[in-house]
Each structure stands twice: as C-alpha cells, then as structure tokens.
Amino acid sequence: MQTRVYTDKINIDNNSTKEFWQKRANNINNLQTVLLGSDNTGSEQNIRNENEKRIVEKIVEKIQNPGILDIGCGIGRWAENLQNKFEYYVGVDFSEGFINYASKKFTNFSNVKFYNNSILNLDKDILTSRFNLIICTGVLMYINDENISNIFKAFRQVSPEYLYIQESISLMEGRLTLNKFESKDLKTDYSAIYRTKQEYEEYFKTNAFNIIKTDLLLDNKSGAREETNAQYWILKG
C-alpha cells in the first residue's frame, strides 16, 4: 500500500482519523495537541496561533459581538482567543476527549457551549441557529471528496456573514495524500489530504462563497514545509 500518494485521488479511512485524534485527546498539551508540527517546545505552535488570531480578530471587529460556530473546535482554542469579543460561541468536535476538556475549561461561561458532534452530521439545532461567523480550521483535510460538497451546503444553510477557512494545502501542481503514513514528527501513522488551493476555491465558488482575502499562513518559524503550507481564506456568504 502506498502511504504517500501524489496527484491521484484516494480516500482516507475516517475511523483511523478519529482514532488518531482520540489518542491526542488522551494526552492534552495545550496548542501542541491540536496544532500539529515538528516543534516539541510549542514555540512554532504559539507563533502560528498568534498570527492566526490577529487575522480572525479583524473579521470579528467588522461584525461586533457575533455569534460564532467553530467547527473542529478541539480544546476551545478560538473560544479562548476571542474571549469577550463574541455574543455567544458554539464549538463542535468529533473527539469526546477534546469536548470534555473544553467544557470543563469554560464551565463558568454561559455564552460558550461545546458539542460532541461530527461535521459530517451536524445537529439540526446547530444548522438552524444564527451565526455571523463560521470558523473551520484544519478539518477539511481529513474529509474525503465525496463529503466535501455536503459540508459546504451545510455552511450555506447556516448562512453566515463570514466564513473563515484554514487548511493545510499542497504547494505542488497536484494534491498530496498521506494514507496511514508513518510520521516521524508525530510518532504514529497519519492520514490527511493536502488539496491544492485551486481545489478548495472551486468548492467556494460552487457554493456561492466569495473570497475576500486569502494568503499562506506559515513561514519557517511557524511550520512551513517544502511541499505543504497552511492557506487561509476569509469568505463572505
């Protein structure tokens, strides 16, 4: 079995992905748990988080006291980053361990809620609620092509003013798929789909999300690699 697949479109195993993140949730180490990288000191992750925080804060300033839906919320990174800047916040993650951790951390915040729910099957109450901003970071790379369109249809159903997407992408002409690849940095098998920037932008166009701004997120200090990087998009619904 090829574990590093260039250009060809193959599926990754959803159960394997969930198992990977459940193991991470069993040993939570703040940002290093949810922002993957080769730096064991946490410096790389902290720089990345601060850079991304400044980007999202500018969106929040335009809305003023928004309702925020955070898909793949992990340990509540965005609830913490944007404290006192939102009217209410809902975080969703398929890892029960992350949700339990985040819920305990924000137990005294009446306007912060966390739900153990998958992006592939979002609760109807969430889809019918009002959110000005959807944040979705580092999630779509674990979703197979056959399900991506339905996710954007769900985002369209929520009808946010803004959508912030951040995903690891391939910098090559075609995508890169890691299929149970033995990662030296993570010390375990790892699966993910590094689509191209153009592939994601075709999904945005199809679902009538307009690109307001986009750029690469990482430099050498925050985890940039030769073949991959993280791209962010600010979209308007």
pLDDT given for residue 36 in this prediction: 47
- One pLDDT digit (tens) per residue for the chain, 237 residues: 678 999 999 999 888 888 877 877 777 665 444 454 444 555 777 888 889 999 999 999 999 889 999 999 998 999 999 999 999 999 999 889 889 989 999 999 999 999 999 999 888 888 888 999 999 999 999 999 999 999 999 999 898 999 999 999 999 999 999 998 776 665 678 899 999 999 999 999 999 999 999 999 988 777 778 899 999 999 998
Q: Helices in 119-229 by DSSP H: which ranges?
A: 124-127, 145-158, 197-206
Strands 112-116 and 67-71: unpaired
Task: Report phi then psi at 84, rounded to 5.
Answer: 70, 10
Q: Where are the domains of the chain?
A: 42-169+196-236
Residue 116 burial class via C-beta count within 10 angstroms: exposed 0-12, middle 13-18, buried 19 and up: middle
Please give the Cα distance from 224 to 226 (Å, whole number): 7
DSSP bridge pairs for 209: none
Span 81-136, pLDDT tens digits: 999 999 999 999 988 988 998 999 999 999 999 999 999 988 888 888 899 999 99
pLDDT digits (tens, 9 = 90+) for 35-49: 544 445 557 778 888
pLDDT computed for residue 28 by the predictor: 63
DSSP state, 196? Answer: B
pLDDT for 22 equals 80
Yes or no: is domain 42-169+196-236 CATH 3.40.50.150? yes
Q: Tokens for 23?
A: 């193991």
